[in-house]
Structure 1
Amino acid sequence: MSGIRHLVSIKDLTDKEFSILVDRAEYFKSIFKSNETNEFQKNHLKLLGRTIALIFSKRSTRTRISTEGAATFFGAQPMFLGKDDIQLGVNESFYDTTKVVSSMVSCIFARVNHHDEILQLCEHSSVPIINSLCDMFHPLQAICDMLTIKEHLDYSKNKLKVAWIGDANNVINDMAIACLKLGMDVAVATPPGIELDQGIVNAGKEISERNNTKLTTTHNSVEAAKGAHILVTDTFISMGEEYAKVAKLKQFKGFQIDAELAKHADPNYKFMHCLPRHNEEVSDEIFYSKHSIVFEEAENRLYAAMAAIDVFVNNHGNFDDLK
């Protein structure tokens, strides 16, 4: 439907719009942490009596908790609709399900398998769709990651380098664009045979030219880690790829973030991971070290979801009033 703004990926937003989303997440975190009764009541009235649907084709921990918590903060009732709860794609078309669900709710958070499913939801929904993960993008994770970096290293005052060591997946697709939009350099190291999506590379180059940032891709993890202020990785084996575990682990040999690799980063580097984490991706020595900010990062998913609801639902996708 025309006129409705959805959150599909970070590259769909202007640099300023994305910056505002991160700032809104920071703002709601300050309110949430303050326990200020008047602010809680004011925000709780914004969606009181409304419903927010969570259509999840994939299991989740952080996404479900943060989304339900954010909906409740604004007074809405979250309604979880797992793959075994509704007819989506089984006995009913995407079109029919989307028309029905969107007619009864204020917003749909969708955690699905394929990017095309998000696009179908957006095409037929009468309310905002918030992409809560598909195989191409994960914008809520990018918002929370940028808030976490801002809190610990303040990208607005420091020139930072983010090094991604691992797979070319939905998380880095949005994270790379997010970093470049906010003035950070990005180095992406993937194993030979795995390349960052060309559409992301092209968009990254365009953003870099206007923001004086740099996106580099390599198959050398040490090269990517050199001087990095943030080391970040994700699972090597995505949901649905468990059958390929043995081959994947062989392919990713040498890409674990461990103490040896971390020696090449800035001495005060931070380590990030969107979780759940496995040992082949990062050693315990790094994951549980003073450099690790993974649990603060996980908590910030709540405030990212709040920001998304506030901008796309409460404010109808209008960023002008929030500058």
Structure 2
Amino acid sequence: MRHFIDIQDYTARELEDLLELIRVLKEATKARALPPLLAGASLGMIFEEPSTRTRVSFEVAMTKLGGHALYLRPGEIHMGVRETIADTARVLSRMVDGIEARLLKHSAILELARWSTVPVINGLTDVQHPTQVLCDVFTMMEHLPPGKTLRDIRVTFVGDATNVCNSLVQICSRLGISFTHAAPARYQLTPEYRAMAEANCRESGAMLRITEDVEEAVADADFIYTDLWWWVDQEHEKEERVAAFKPRYQVTADLLARAPAHVKFMHCLPASRGVEVTDDVMDGPHSIVFDQAENRLHTEIALLVYCLRPQLQFPSVSLATRQQARVYEVLRERFGIE
């Protein structure tokens, strides 16, 4: 059984296999020929904060695969309040075939996975967003510059070292994609994630660059990526963060003009338009943000198949026939139900 909690848990080969699975299942989905690979399966979705893309993509993915998704939010379940995370994990494991969780603290999803006997998929925590960045790299593959392979491209992340930035530097350095983080020193990658990425780079041959010079950072970028400047529990820092990032680290048409002509702009969304990115960039010809958003669905389809399908035990035709006959026999003889 495999959880999908942290990009570092996966080798480059495993990530490449997942990317190929996304591609194949996306083609099948577009052709309305996706097989019901999770027929009858259920996914418990725990959300400690609101979500658009994560919730919709997982719920639609389960439906397209022939299964069912159950949305669980604070106030509707007791996890972490009247019931321990461990007990919640053990109860849900008896009722669903997989758990997707979007939690405020990474320690909580590690505890959930520790006690769960079904696969757990990380839908976002305070320090990680692995489903997003798997989607991001797949989107890059669909928009590779002419003549370049995945290992040839350069990705520049502009702005705060968010959970997305952490996961993105992990997957890029794992797969041999050179990564630059441009931000004021205070908001750059932590020593932990920098060391992790450097170790990955030594294996993959990728390059890691961390700088305050955003103009230099975008000069050779094939993809420029940004994210929100503040998130949950950082609202009190809003003014300080805006002062640190704006205007130099705002992604504008002028900043894009410093990059190669083929550069693409990416954002995990939601975006604060006019803050970390301007409207003319979000809606302009370099933007692939809505391709990214759509690919969350195809990424979730692949992750659910990868994680849940191996755990499902489908009966043989003869066993299914015998079991169904017995059910109908009891209904008829005991309750008079045909």
The amino acid that maps onto 2:179 is V
Structure 2 Cα separation of the partners of residues 316 and 122 of structure 1: 15
Contact 2:181 2:188 in 1 (8 A): no
Q: Secondary structure of 2:179's partner?
A: strand
The amino acid that maps onto 1:310 is V
The amino acid that maps onto 1:23 is E
Shift of 1:158: 6.4
Structure 2 Cα separation of the partners of residues 59 and 260 of structure 1: 33
Structure 2 Cα separation of the partners of residues 26 and 316 of structure 1: 22
Name the residue aligned to 2:320: none
Task: Answer yes or no: is 1:124 the counterpart of 2:121.
Answer: no
The amino acid that maps onto 2:228 is T
Shift of 1:88: 0.9
Task: Answer yes or no: is 1:263 the counterpart of 2:257.
Answer: yes
CA distance change for structure 1 residues 198 and 158 in 2, over 3 Å: closer, same or farther? closer
Of 196, 204, 208 in structure 2, the residue corresponding to residue 203 of structure 1 is 196
Shift of 1:292: 0.2
Note the 1:1-323 alignment, pairs <5 A: 4-36=1-33, 40=34, 43-44=35-36, 46-153=37-144, 156=149, 159-253=152-246, 254-278=248-272, 279-316=274-311
Q: Secondary structure of 2:125's partner?
A: coil
Structure 1: any 5+ residue segments left out of the alignment?
Answer: 318-323
CA distance change for structure 1 residues 9 and 158 in 2, over 3 Å: closer, same or farther? closer
Structure 1 Cα separation of the partners of residues 168 and 10 of structure 2: 13
* Greater displacement, 202-211 / 53-62: 202-211
Q: Secondary structure of 1:130's partner?
A: strand
Shift of 1:198: 2.1
TM-score normalised per structure 2: 0.88
Structure 2 Cα separation of the partners of residues 10 and 315 of structure 1: 20
Contact 1:5 1:316 in 2 (8 A): no
Structure 2 Cα separation of the partners of residues 316 and 190 of structure 1: 43
Contact 2:150 2:177 in 1 (8 A): no
Q: Secondary structure of 1:193's partner?
A: helix
* Greater displacement, 61-70 / 190-199: 190-199
Structure 2 Cα separation of the partners of residues 89 and 199 of structure 1: 28
The amino acid that maps onto 1:87 is H
Shift of 1:172: 1.0
Contact 1:136 1:173 in 2 (8 A): yes
Shift of 1:220: 1.9
The amino acid that maps onto 1:291 is H
Give structure 1 regions of 4+ aligned residues with deviation exceeding 4 angstroms. Answer: none
- Work out which structure has the larger RCO, using CA pairs closer than 8 Å and 6 or more positions apart in sequence: 1
Q: Deviations over 1:219-253 (max 9, x none)?
A: 22112111101000000011232232112211212
Shift of 1:156: 3.0
The root-mean-square deviation of aligned C-alpha atoms, in Å, is: 1.5
Structure 1 Cα separation of the partners of residues 299 and 11 of structure 2: 17
Name the residue aligned to 1:320: none
Q: Secondary structure of 2:262's partner?
A: coil
Name the residue aligned to 2:332: none
Q: Secondary structure of 2:187's partner?
A: coil
The amino acid that maps onto 2:31 is S
The percent of aligned pairs where both chains have the same amino acid is 34
The amino acid that maps onto 1:173 is N
Q: Deviations over 1:108-139 (max 9, x none)?
A: 00000011001000110010000000011111
Structure 1 Cα separation of the partners of residues 172 and 25 of structure 2: 21
Shift of 1:47: 2.3
Contact 1:162 1:228 in 2 (8 A): yes
* Greater displacement, 191-200 / 18-27: 191-200
Q: How many equivalent residue pairs? A: 308
Shift of 1:316: 4.9
Q: Secondary structure of 2:306's partner?
A: helix
The amino acid that maps onto 2:9 is D
Q: Deviations over 1:7-31 (max 9, x none)?
A: 1111110000011111111111111
Structure 1 Cα separation of the partners of residues 62 and 282 of structure 2: 31
